Amino acid sequence: SRPIVAIVGRPNVGKSTLFNSLAGEKISIVKDYPGVTRDRIYADVTWLNYQFTMIDTGGIEMDTKDIMLSHMRQQAEIAIETADVIMFLVDVKQGLVDADFKVADMLRKSHKPVVLVVNKVDNFEKYMPDVYEFYNLGIGDPYPISASSKIGLGDMLDEVTSHF
């Protein structure tokens, strides 16, 4: 069966945008109730000769919605349980926050392959110095991307698929 790749990260780092960019087509958002949107959370992705199933953990209903850290911990637990490779998405514009370090610790201890993806690097020259800050998470090389402009996705996917 196909490898499973889970996307973990704080709200607003761009998980759904990355998911849609990799899924290749605009995912339709289903409105169950007025004002409530439910994003699709699974997609099959083909990259070169690789096929995998991608999960956007940000779209999974959680027990905790209010506290960001417990929400992220739950995302990480689900990813650690189900995924073959975890994409940990962070935001170059927001920079590093405490919750990122806590989740990085959980992911490191899981011994699952983790790819650290730094999103919103819309201009590589301008933002590369800020990307290096993410080495402080201690989970390896940061892969800069722009999910909305679809920049850097190839190198990132090479790294993800190298763990299959």
Q: Which residues bind ligand GDP (CB under 6 A)?
A: 9, 11-17, 58, 119-120, 122, 146-149
DSSP character at residue 31: E
Interface region with Mg ion, contact rule CB under 5 A, candidates 13-21, 28-36, 65-73, 142-150: 13-21
Q: Cα dist. 81→6, 22, 74, 89, 107 in Å?
A: 10, 22, 11, 18, 11
Residue 24: burial class (beta carbons within 10 Å; 0-12, 13-18, 19+): exposed
End-to-end CA distance of the chain, in Å? 11
Interface region with Mg ion, contact rule CB under 5 A, candidates 15-23, 28-36, 89-97, 153-161: 15-23
Cα four-point dihedral sign 11, 69, 55, 88: positive
- Cβ 111 to ligand GDP, closest distance in Å? 25
Q: Is 14 annotated as contributing to ligand binding?
A: yes
- Cβ 14 to ligand GDP, closest distance in Å? 3
Q: Is 123 annotated as contributing to ligand binding?
A: no
Size of the site for Mg ion (CB under 5 A): 3
Q: Cβ(156)–Cβ(145) under 8 Å?
A: yes
Q: Is 110 annotated as contributing to ligand binding?
A: no
Among Mg ion, ligand GDP, none, the one that 144 touches (CB under a kind-dependent 5 to 8 A) is none
Residue with tokens 């199933």: 53
Q: Is 154 annotated as contributing to ligand binding?
A: no
Among Mg ion, ligand GDP, none, the one that 12 touches (CB under a kind-dependent 5 to 8 A) is ligand GDP
DSSP character at residue 134: G
Distance CA 144, CA 151 (A): 8
Is residue 16 a contact point for Mg ion (CB under 5 A)? yes
Residues 34-63 that bind Mg ion (CB under 5 A): 58
Binding residues for GTP, as ranges, are 9-16, 56-60, 119-122
Q: Which chain residues interact with Mg ion by CB under 5 A?
A: 15-16, 58
Summarize the annotated binding site as residue ranges.
9-16, 56-60, 119-122
